[in-house]
A and B are shown apart, each in its own frame.
Chain A
Amino acid sequence: MEIFITLFITGVGLGALYFLVASGLSLIYGLMGVLNFAHGAFLTAGAYAAWYFTTEVRADGSLTSYAISLVLSGLVGAIFAVATEQLLIKHLYDRHIDQALVTVGLGLVAVSAYLGWFGSDPLIALPPTQLYDVVQIGDAFVGIDRFLYITVAGLVLLANFLMLRYTRIGLVIRAGVENRAMVTALGIDVRKAFTFVFFIGGFAAGLGGALATTYASGVGPTLGDAFLIYAFITVVIGGMGSIPGTAIAAVIVGTTQVLVNYYVQGLGDFVVVLLLAVVLLTRPQGLLGKVAH
C-alpha cells in the first residue's frame, strides 16, 4: 500500500506539471484554434532561466532564491510566448495549418538554439535541499517536491478559475472559446485576449519548466518536447478549452503513467496513448469539452 501511495502522489505531481503546460495549450487552442507546437519551447526557456538563476545569479540554495527563480521562469516563458504571438501567430490568424507549421518550425529552431547555447548534456539544477526531504504518509515516504508541484499547479488552477469567472478578460475568453466571431460582433477586440492568453499560457509553461528541472534533476534542450507530448494528450482527453477538464485529465494521465510504469514495466506510455484513443473514440470532445459547432 505504501508503494501505491508514493506512486500515486508522484503521479499527481507529474500530472501537476502536465497541467501547467496543458492549461495554456488548452486556452490557446480553445480561444484561437491555434495548435501551438512551440509551447514546449516556452517550458524549456523557463527551465533554463531557473537553472541559470539558481546556479549563476543566486546560487545560495535558499528557498527565497528558488521562489524568485519560479517567478522569473514564468516571466521568461510569458515573454517568449507573447513574442511568438506578436511576431508570428498574429499574422496567420484563421490560417490554422500555417500556424501549426510555424509553431512546429519554431519548436525545432528553439531546440537547436538551446543545443547551441547550452549543449546537449542536461544541466544540473540546484534546488533548495529542503525539496529533497520526504514526508511520511502512513508507511509511505513521499518526496516533498511532489507537494510543491501540486501546490503550484493548484494555485495556477485557482488563479485561472478566478480570472475566467470574475474578470472582464475572463468573460471575453470564455465567450471567445465558444464563438470568437460573435465576440468581435459585440465590439470587442478579441486579439487583445489572444495576447493575454499567450501570456498566461507562457507563464504557466515557464513555471512548469522551473519545476520540471527539479523533477527531472536538470534541464536539456528537449525537456519541453518531452512534456509537450503528454500535455497535448492531456488537453485532448480533458477537452480543448476546458481548464477543469485539463486539470482532471492531467491527474489521470500522470497517475496512469506512473502507476502502470511501475506495475507493468514500460507500458505506462502505451496505456496513456490507449486512454487517448478510447476517449477519442467514445467522447471526441474530451471529458469536459464542448461539441464543436
Chain B
Amino acid sequence: MTNALTLTDVNVTIKGSHILQGVNFEIEAGVVTGLLGRNGVGKSTTLRSIVGLVPRVGSINLFGEEISGLRTHEVIRAGVAFVPEDREIFASLTVAENLKLAERDKNPDYDTVHQLFPELLQRKNQRAGTLSGGQQQMVAVARALLNKTRLLLVDEPTKGLAPKLVTEVAAALEIAAQATTILLVEQNLPLVKRVAKNIIVMDQGVVVHNGTPAELADADFAKRMLGVSGGSH
C-alpha cells in the first residue's frame, strides 16, 4: 500500500485557539478516505492546513515529498486540488472565467467537466454569483477536476444541496476517484459509505479513529464518534 498523504503531529493555532492539536494520519493512494467528526473538531482546518491556507507546524508529506513548508499555490502545483466548504466561487466572474482561472494543465479536461455537469456549459456566460447553491457547487468541483491531480481535498460538497444534486456530486466524486486520491470531509454518512474505502474520525483537534465505512453501520459507533445515527443520514 502506498501512502498518498501522511500528516505527522500537525498543529494549527488561529487567534490563540489551538485548533489542531497534533493530527496524525495516513491516507492510502488511489482511494477515497472520509474525514469525519462532529462540527468544529478541526476537519476543515485539517484540509486548509494541508494546502497552507492556515499557518501550520508539523510534517505534511505528499507522495514522499514534504510540503509543509510550501506556500498554498506551490502545494496546489505539487498536485493537490481543493474544493472548499461553502464553494468560494468568484461571484463576480462568469462560470467560464471561474473555470479558466483554475486552468493549470496545457490541456484542461473540459470533456469530463462538461460530461459531468452539462449545465455549466449552458451557463458559461452567467455570473457565478447568480447561480443556485447546487450550480455553484458544480463550479467548485469542476475547478478541481480540470487539471490532473494526485490528491483531491473536498470539504462538505453536499452541504445544503437537494437530494438530486447530492447524487450528481456523488457521481462526480466517483468518477474523480478513478483517477486520483480523495480526502473527503462529509457529514452525509450514506455518501461516505458509498464512496469511501477508509474513514478517519476526528474529535477536539486530534484523530481518534481510523477504520472502514462498514463501522458506520454500527449505531453505537456512529453515535459515539459523530453524534449521529449511522443509518439515517
A1-9, A174-182, A218-226: which lies at the B interface? A174-182
Interface residue count for B (Cβ, 8 Å)?
A: 21
Query: How long is the Cα–Cα vector from A284 to B93 in the complex, in angstroms?
Result: 23
- Chain A contacts with B in 275-291, Cβ cutoff 8 A: 290
Q: Does B214 contact A (CB under 8 A)?
A: no
Q: Does A101 contact B (CB under 8 A)?
A: no
**Residue among A174, A185, A186, A190 with the highest chain B CB neighbour number at 10 A:** A185
A183: shortest Cβ distance to chain B, in Å? Answer: 7
B130: shortest Cβ distance to chain A, in Å? Answer: 14
A160: shortest Cβ distance to chain B, in Å? Answer: 16
Interface residue count for A (Cβ, 8 Å)?
A: 17
Query: How long is the Cα–Cα vector from A247 to B50 in the complex, in angstroms?
Result: 41
Contacts of B51 in A (CB 8 A): 185
Whether A178 and B72, one on each chain, are in contact in the complex, defined by CB atoms closer than 8 angstroms, is: no
Query: How long is the Cα–Cα vector from A183 to B88 in the complex, in angstroms?
Result: 10
B72: shortest Cβ distance to chain A, in Å? Answer: 4
B23: shortest Cβ distance to chain A, in Å? Answer: 20
Q: Does A130 contact B (CB under 8 A)?
A: no
Q: Does A189 contact B (CB under 8 A)?
A: yes
Whether A187 and B88, one on each chain, are in contact in the complex, defined by CB atoms closer than 8 angstroms, is: no
Query: How long is the Cα–Cα vector from A178 to B97 in the complex, in angstroms?
Result: 13
Contacts of A290 in B (CB 8 A): 92
Contacts of A181 in B (CB 8 A): 53, 72
Task: Name the contact of A186 in the complex, choosing from B71, B91, B102 (C-beta under 8 A).
Answer: B102
Whether A187 and B93, one on each chain, are in contact in the complex, defined by CB atoms closer than 8 angstroms, is: no
Q: Does B143 contact A (CB under 8 A)?
A: yes
Q: Does A155 contact B (CB under 8 A)?
A: no
Whether A175 and B73, one on each chain, are in contact in the complex, defined by CB atoms closer than 8 angstroms, is: no
* Chain A 160-195 interface mask (CB, 8 Å, partner B; 1/0): 000000000001101100110111111111100000
Task: Name the contact of B72 in the complex, choosing from A171, A172, A174, A184 (C-beta under 8 A).
Answer: A184
Contacts of A189 in B (CB 8 A): 71, 73
Q: Does B84 contact A (CB under 8 A)?
A: yes
State whether A187 and B104 are in contact (beta carbons under 8 Å apart), knowing that A175-B90, A178-B92 are contacts in the complex: yes
Whether B101 and A185, one on each chain, are in contact in the complex, defined by CB atoms closer than 8 angstroms, is: no
Residue of chain B at shortest CB distance from A187: B76
Contacts of A174 in B (CB 8 A): 90, 92-93, 97
Contacts of A178 in B (CB 8 A): 90-93
State whether A171 and B97 are in contact (beta carbons under 8 Å apart), knowing that A185-B82, A187-B77, A187-B104 are contacts in the complex: yes
Q: Does B223 contact A (CB under 8 A)?
A: no
- Chain B contacts with A in 93-107, Cβ cutoff 8 A: 93, 97, 100-102, 104
Whether B90 and A182, one on each chain, are in contact in the complex, defined by CB atoms closer than 8 angstroms, is: yes
Whether B100 and A187, one on each chain, are in contact in the complex, defined by CB atoms closer than 8 angstroms, is: no
Whether A184 and B71, one on each chain, are in contact in the complex, defined by CB atoms closer than 8 angstroms, is: yes
* Chain B 30-59 interface mask (CB, 8 Å, partner A; 1/0): 000000000000000000000101000000
Query: How long is the Cα–Cα vector from A290 to B92 in the complex, in angstroms?
Result: 10
A240: shortest Cβ distance to chain B, in Å? Answer: 14
Query: How long is the Cα–Cα vector from A79 to B102 in the complex, in angstroms?
Result: 31
* Chain B 59-80 interface mask (CB, 8 Å, partner A; 1/0): 0000000000001110011000
A-B pairs, 7 with minimum CB distance:
A187-B76, A184-B72, A182-B88, A175-B90, A184-B73, A189-B73, A186-B102
* B residues apposed to A, CB below 8 Å: 51, 53, 71-73, 76-77, 82, 84, 88, 90-93, 97, 100-102, 104, 143, 147
Beyond contacts A179-B90, A182-B84, A182-B90: 14 other A-B pairs, Cβ-Cβ < 8 A, are A171-B101, A178-B91, A178-B93, A184-B71, A184-B73, A184-B76, A185-B53, A185-B76, A185-B88, A186-B73, A186-B104, A187-B77, A187-B102, A188-B73
Interchain Cβ contacts under 8 Å between A and B, 15 examples: A171-B97, A174-B90, A174-B93, A174-B97, A175-B97, A178-B92, A178-B93, A179-B90, A181-B72, A184-B71, A185-B72, A185-B82, A185-B84, A186-B101, A188-B101
